[in-house]
Structure 1
Amino acid sequence: MKLRFFVFLGILATMGLVLTNCSSAKKVVKEKNNEEVLQVMRLTNQYFMNKWPDTGKPIYTTRWRPSNIWTRAVYYEGLMALYQIDPNKAYYDYAVDWGNKHKWGLRNGIETRNADDHACGQTYLDLYEIDPQPERIKDIKASIDGIIASNKYDDWTWIDAIQMAMPIFAKLGVMYKDEKYFDFMYKMYHHSKYVEGGGLYNKEDKLWWRDKDFVPPYREPNGEDCYWSRGNGWVVAALVRVLELIPENEKHRAEYLQDYIELIEGLAAVQREDGFWDVSLHDPTNFGGRETSGTALFVYGMAWGINNGILDATTYRPMIDKAWDAMVKEAVHPSGFLGYLQGTGKEPKDSQPVSFSSVPDFEDYGLGCFLLAGAEVYKLK
C-alpha cells in the first residue's frame, strides 16, 4: 500500500513537471513567434526604406506620379502600425519626412473629392496626434470639410475608396468630438453599400463587388459572381480602422460591426488549402493562385477581431496562422521583397501573371497590407 502511495506521488510529481514544462514551452514558443513576426516585419520594411531613401521622390510606372498617392499612403498606414509595436524613431522620421516633402498636401489639392487623394491623410492625422503641428492637419481637414459642406455623398463608387477615405472621417470625428463626420461618412458608406450599381454588398455571399461593372449579370468564367480579393480586403481594413476609432455609442456602429463579422465569415469560407486566398474569391480557375495583398488584409481583419474579443479564436486562429505562415514562407524573399503580389487594377486579370518573382507596378501598398497584418498577428495572445 505504501509503495502504491509513493508511486502515485511520483506520478503526480511527474505530471506537475510535465505541465510546468508544457506551460514554459508554450511561453517560449509564443515569445519566439512574436520575435519572428517582428523580425520579418523589420526585414520587409527595411528593404523598402533602403530602396526609397528619398520619401518625396516621384514614382514612375507608365508615367510620373507624386509619392503621396494612395499606394504609398497604404504603405505608411502599415509603417505606423509597425511603429506602434516597434517604436523605432527611424520609422517616425521617415513618415514625417514624407509629410514634409509633400507639405502635408493632397495630390490634387484640397478641392479633390477623390478618395485615393485622401488616403495620405490617415498618416497625416496619426502624425498630428503624436505632434500636433497645424500644417499636418490643415489640408486634409479642409478637404473633408469641403465634401461635407457640399452635401454630395456619392463619391465612393468603388469599394477601395471606403478604405482610402472612411477612416479619416472617423478620426476627425473623434479628434473634434463632432458627429457631423460620423454622420456624413455613413451617408457615403450607405451609398456604396446600398445604392451604387444597385448596391455593392451582396448579403447572400457576404462579399462585396468591386464596383458596378461587376454586379450581376457580370459573371466569372465558372459562372460565379466576381469578388475581387484585394477589393474585399480594402473593405475589411476600412471597417477595422473605423470600428477601432468610433465611440461605442456611435449610431451606426452596430451596422459596421455586423458588416465586418459577415464579411469575415464570407472570406473564411473561401480560404485556399495553402493558407492564401485567390484573387477571384469564388473562381479559383480565373487567375487562381497565391496572392499576398488580399491575404494580408484578411489576416489583418481576422487577427484584429480576435484581439478585440469579436471573433472566436478557436475558429479563426488556425486560419490566421496558416495564412501568415504561408506568406512568410512562400512570399517573403531573403532580401525582404514580397512576392505573389498583384499589381494595381480592379479585377483578377489585372497585372497578371503573379508569381514569387514577379515585380508589381507598385511595391508599396502590398507591404503596407503585410505590415498591418503583422502588427495584429504580433498582438495575438
Structure 2
Amino acid sequence: MKRFPILDEKWTYDYGVVFKGMELVWKITGDHKYYDYIKQSMDQFINEKGEIRDYHLEEYNIDHINNGKLLFLLYEQTGEEKYKKAIELLISQLKTHPRTKEGGFWHKKIYPDQMWLDGIYMGSPFYAEYGKKFNHPKVFDDVAKQVILCANHTKDPKTGLHYHAWDEKHEEFWCNKETGCSKNFWGRAMGWFVAAIVDILDYMPEDHKDHPEIIEVFQDCIEALLRVRDPESGVWYQVLDQGHRPGNYLEASCSCMFLYAITKGIKKGYISEEKIETAKDIYKGIITQFIEVREDGLVNLNKTCQVAGLGNKEKRDGTFVYYISEPIICNDLKGIGAFIQASAETETLS
C-alpha cells in the first residue's frame, strides 16, 4: 500500500489477486484501511452506470472477469447499484463467451478453441459466487463443467500434473498434436488452477452432483504437486518437474498459490490435517527463499515470473527454454497478491 497507494492504471487481472488478499486481511484484522484500499481503487474503474473503464466485452478475454470478484464485496457493503450493474455486465460476457464444442470457455477470443488452466481462476470463482449470491443454481452446472473439462483435457496420467493449456483442434504450434496439450507443467498455471478450485468450492452446494468430483480433482492436484516439491527449499520450481535442469529456478507466485490452496483446503476439510506441518514448512520456505526486508522496512517479494503464455508470438512455444526465458522480477502484483492470500490463510491455521 505504501508503494502503490492506489491501483488504477488499467483493468488488469493481477489487481484482483491483490484485492482478494486485502479482503482477507481486512476480515482477519478488522482494519478498515484494507477495505478502503479496495474500494478506492475499484471506484477508479466503475462509474455510476456500472460501466467499467478499459473493459471491452467484445474482446472476450476471460482474464477481464477476475477483478469482478470484488464487486460482490462492494455491493454487499454499500448497496450501491453500480456494483450490481457491473456484475451483470461481466456475467453478460460469460453468457455469450465463445466455447469449445464441449462447452468450455475459450481463454480469449484471440486464442480460439483453447482452454488454459489460468482461465479457470479468471472466470469460474466469480461465476460461482454469482450463482450463489444471486440465486442462479444452474450456474453451478456450468462452473463444474469448466473445471472438469479443463482437468480431463490437461491432466498427465503419469505424473498427475496438469499441462498449461489444451487446444481442442490439436493444431497450435505449441501443442502435442496427439493430445492437444502444451508441452510442460508451468508452476503458476497449476497455481491458478488449484486456487480457483478451492475458491469455487466456497460457493458450490455440497449436494451438487459434481461436488465430489471437483474435490477429487483438487486432492489429486495437491498430491501431484507435493510429489514434485523441492525437498531442500520446501517450495516449487518454475517448471514443476524439472528442478534438476540448468536455468530452472524456485518461483514465488506458484509456491504462494500452492500454499494458499493447501492451507485453505486443510481448513475446509478437503485435505487431511496431517498436512498442517507441511503447510508450515512451505511457508518457512517461502519466507526464506523469496522474502527480503529492506533497511527502510519495506518488504520485497523476489523471484516471480513476470508473465508466460502460449501462442501469439513464436517464442511462446511452451518449451522448457521458453518458460525459463521470461523475465524474473521483484514485487510483481500477482506474486504479492498470492503471498498475501497465502500468509493470511497460513497464519490463521490452527
* 1:43-192 correspondence to structure 2 within 5 Å: 49-56=1-8, 58=9, 66=10, 68-103=11-46, 105=52, 107-148=54-95, 152=99, 153=103, 154-156=105-107, 157-192=115-150
Query: Residue 366 of structure 1 aligns with which residue?
Result: 335
1:327 aligned onto 2:295: no
Q: Quick one: which amino acid aligns to residue 336 of structure 1?
A: V
Match among 266, 289, 292 for residue 249 of structure 2:
289
The 1:151–1:226 alpha-carbon spacing in structure 2 relative to 1, beyond 3 Å, is closer
The 1:202–1:129 alpha-carbon spacing in structure 2 relative to 1, beyond 3 Å, is farther
Query: Residue 112 of structure 2 aligns with which residue?
Result: none
Which runs of 5 or more structure 2 residues have no equivalent in the other structure?
A: 108-114, 167-171, 310-317
How far, CA to CA, are the matches of 2:93 and 2:229 in structure 1? Answer: 41
Q: What RMSD, in angstroms, separates the aligned Cα atoms of the two structures? A: 2.5
Match among 250, 259, 264 for residue 208 of structure 2:
250
Q: Is the 8 A contact 1:201 1:207 kept in 2?
A: yes
- Any idea what SS the aligned residue of 2:2 has? helix
Q: Quick one: which amino acid aligns to residue 222 of structure 2?
A: I
1:145 deviates by 3.4
Query: Residue 345 of structure 1 aligns with which residue?
Result: 308
Scaled by the length of structure 1, the TM-score of the pair is 0.75
- What count of residue pairs does the alignment treat as equivalent? 310
Q: Quick one: which amino acid aligns to residue 215 of structure 2?
A: L
Identity %: 21
Query: Once the two structures are superposed, what CA deviation does each residue of 1:72-126 show, in whole Å capped at 9, x if it has no partner?
Result: 2211121112222122111111100111100162643344421111111011222
Larger CA Rg, structure 1 vs 2: 1
Match among 189, 194, 210 for residue 164 of structure 2:
210
How far, CA to CA, are the matches of 1:313 and 1:187 in structure 2? Answer: 29
Q: Quick one: which amino acid aligns to residue 76 of structure 1?
A: F
1:307 deviates by 1.1
The 1:86–1:270 alpha-carbon spacing in structure 2 relative to 1, beyond 3 Å, is same
Match among 253, 264, 275 for residue 234 of structure 2:
275
Which runs of 5 or more structure 1 residues have no equivalent in the other structure?
A: 1-48, 59-65, 219-223
Query: Once the two structures are superposed, what CA deviation does each residue of 1:42-84 show, in whole Å capped at 9, x if it has no partner?
Result: xxxxxxx11112332x2xxxxxxx1x20122211121112222
The 1:190–1:326 alpha-carbon spacing in structure 2 relative to 1, beyond 3 Å, is closer
How far, CA to CA, are the matches of 2:202 and 2:125 in structure 1? Answer: 9
- Any idea what SS the aligned residue of 1:375 has? helix
Q: Quick one: which amino acid aligns to residue 230 of structure 2?
A: R
Query: Residue 310 of structure 1 aligns with which residue?
Result: 270
1:203 deviates by 4.2
Query: Once the two structures are superposed, what CA deviation does each residue of 1:220-255 show, in whole Å capped at 9, x if it has no partner?
Result: xxxx96111110010010000001221111222111
